[in-house]
Amino acid sequence: MTIIDMTIHELHAALKGKQISSVEATTALLERITAVEPQVGSFITVTPEQALAAAKAADHRIASGDCQLLTGIPLAIKDIFLTEGIRTTCGSRILENFIPPYSATSWEKLRDCGAVLLGKLNQDEFAMGSSNESSAYGTTRNPWDTTCIPGGSSGGSAASVAARQAVATLGTDTGGSIRQPASHCGCVGLKPTYGRVSRYGVIAYASSLDQVGPLTRDVADCAIMLEAIAGHDPKDSTSVDTPVPNYSASLTQGVKGMKIGLPKEYFIDGLDPDVQKAMDAAIDTYRRLGAEFVEISLPNTDYAVATYYLIATAEASSNLARYDGVRFGHRAEADGLLDMYTKSRSEGFGSEVKRRIMIGTYALSSGYYDAYYVKAQKVRTLIMNDFVKAFADVDVMLTPVAPTPAFKIGEKINDPLQMYLSDIFTIPVNLAGTCAMSLPAGFSAAGLPIGLQLIGKPFGEESILRAGYAFEQATEWHIRKATI
């Protein structure tokens, strides 16, 4: 097996056994990045020198007998995570030259384990998008078909795993931004329960929905990454102080007797036939493994997209007010204060970001607040209650991740509403604040990956990881490699 094809657990065994050094692994991945980056465009910033220095340090650590699961493993992270001394753009022109003075907690945790940072990954601007087309640094392409989008907003995080440019990556998920690109690129992506992972140092899009999670080659890696980043952070008041389970330990317990819910609102007539076929096959697989299926209902699903686009944009309109050209980021040449604000923001933000700031500002405005923001919050409560009720009868839920496989670049760019609907199955999970994972479950006739979504109870990551692992052991979808 070549180094670039290795998973975290495989590479860890090789590092621990001294068959490979971290410098060798890092070099191999940096070479791979150089080789395929012109076709994929996963990265906004590659950091080869820092990566090799970190790899060298990791090798010393390993030589001294300290080889944790992530020590010496070359990773990459979405450019939404602040990295001290390394440019962090969030996919936006407005942060083109922003060098943060501190690092995100989730990245610090990985770094402290000895992980090696290869660079910062492409994404939709401020995580607003489902295709990576809103990035100010070019569209990332799908490694399975470079005429297709990789999904978004963590498009670079998914594409780089699929293209073997990084062993694993971190992304963020506000309405599906980890799961949808993971599905489109054929990798595993997990959005943890809101509060499971610290948001400190992660550039905010919609604070009540944003959550950090891993994108990996397989479920075992996903468990390793989640365990490393999860936990309470005193710097994030919304992070929850509950113990972090040993996710890897319970992976192999199987799904015999597990009750899996099939929400009827997610298996709609318009579902792509290839996606429907993959879901049917997955249900068969789980039945063979001993799981039981229950049809359930999440009756307010239809309102989720509208609710999301009010709450997320309202929060975003406020979160993005700090990009004003005063203290950091792009400042336009201007005549006076108002002119400076207007020009800096007009020049710095792309059109999707502007659209969402305007929608959110409108939703919060005097006279409209009750009709839009307050009402959306009420519907959000109804959606949460749907999940609470449904989870009374089932352990996990199984749904498609996206209604279709990856679409063509440019196909939906001029139709925001169509674009927004590509997150129809992922958004409710964020509104409910619970956890969900996307994992490879088949391919379309055109050879594009199709993902399966497992939704867990709040803080029920163990269950979905276990169910995902059982599926992975029984299938070979995750082993297939992108052709790039």
Structure tokens at 366: 């005097």
Phi/psi for 230 (5° steps) reads -75, 160
Q: 359: Cβ–Cβ under 8 A, 6 or more apart, which residues? A: 309, 310, 313, 317
Residue 191 or 478: which CB sits closer to another protein? 191
Binders in 62-81 for another protein, by CB under 8 A: 81
**Residue whose C-alpha is closest to residue 365's, from 353, 374, 352:** 374
**Does the footprint of another protein cover residue 234 (CB under 8 A)?**
yes
**Does the footprint of another protein cover residue 414 (CB under 8 A)?**
no
Interface pick for another protein out of 268, 294, 337, 474 (rule CB under 8 A): 337
**Does the footprint of another protein cover residue 294 (CB under 8 A)?**
no
Number of C-beta neighbours around residue 332 at 10 A: 15
Could you give the string, one character per residue 350-379, with x where binding to another protein holds by CB under 8 A and - elsewhere?
A: -----------x--xxx--x---x------
Q: What is the torsional sign of CA 175, 178, 183, 185?
A: positive
- How far is Cα of residue 151 from the mean position of the Cα atoms in its chain? 10
Interface pick for another protein out of 50, 208, 385, 473 (rule CB under 8 A): 208
**Does the footprint of another protein cover residue 137 (CB under 8 A)?**
no
Read off the amino acid at residue 334: A
Q: Whole-angstrom Cα distance, residue 329 to residue 270?
A: 43
Interface pick for another protein out of 5, 37, 236, 274 (rule CB under 8 A): 236
Given a contact cutoff of 8 angstroms between Cβ atoms, the answer to whether 100 and 54 are in contact is: no
Residue 81 or 443: which CB sits closer to another protein? 81
Residue 126 or 286: which CB sits closer to another protein? 126
Q: Whole-angstrom Cα distance, residue 300 to residue 345?
A: 36
Interface pick for another protein out of 200, 349, 443, 471 (rule CB under 8 A): 200
Residues identified as active-site: 78, 153, 177
Three-state DSSP at 312 gives helix
Q: Which span (58-66, 90-98, 112-120, 401-409) binds another protein, by CB under 8 A?
A: 90-98
Q: How far is the CB of 207 from another protein (least distance, A)?
A: 4
Q: How far is the CB of 313 from another protein (least distance, A)?
A: 12
Report the alpha-carbon angle 131-133-135, nearest 5. Answer: 120
Q: Which span (62-70, 116-124, 184-192, 204-212) binds another protein, by CB under 8 A?
A: 204-212
Q: Whole-angstrom Cα distance, residue 438 to residue 178?
A: 8
Number of C-beta neighbours around residue 214 at 10 A: 34
Q: How far is the CB of 88 from another protein (least distance, A)?
A: 8
Size of the site for another protein (CB under 8 A): 43
Q: Whole-angstrom Cα distance, residue 102 to residue 111?
A: 13
DSSP symbol at 284: H
Q: Which span (177-185, 193-201, 245-253, 424-432) binds another protein, by CB under 8 A?
A: 193-201
Q: How far is the CB of 256 from another protein (least distance, A)?
A: 39
Binding residues for another protein (CB under 8 A):
81-82, 88, 90, 95, 98, 100-102, 104, 199-204, 206-208, 234-238, 314-315, 317-318, 320-322, 324, 326-328, 337, 341, 361, 364-366, 369, 373
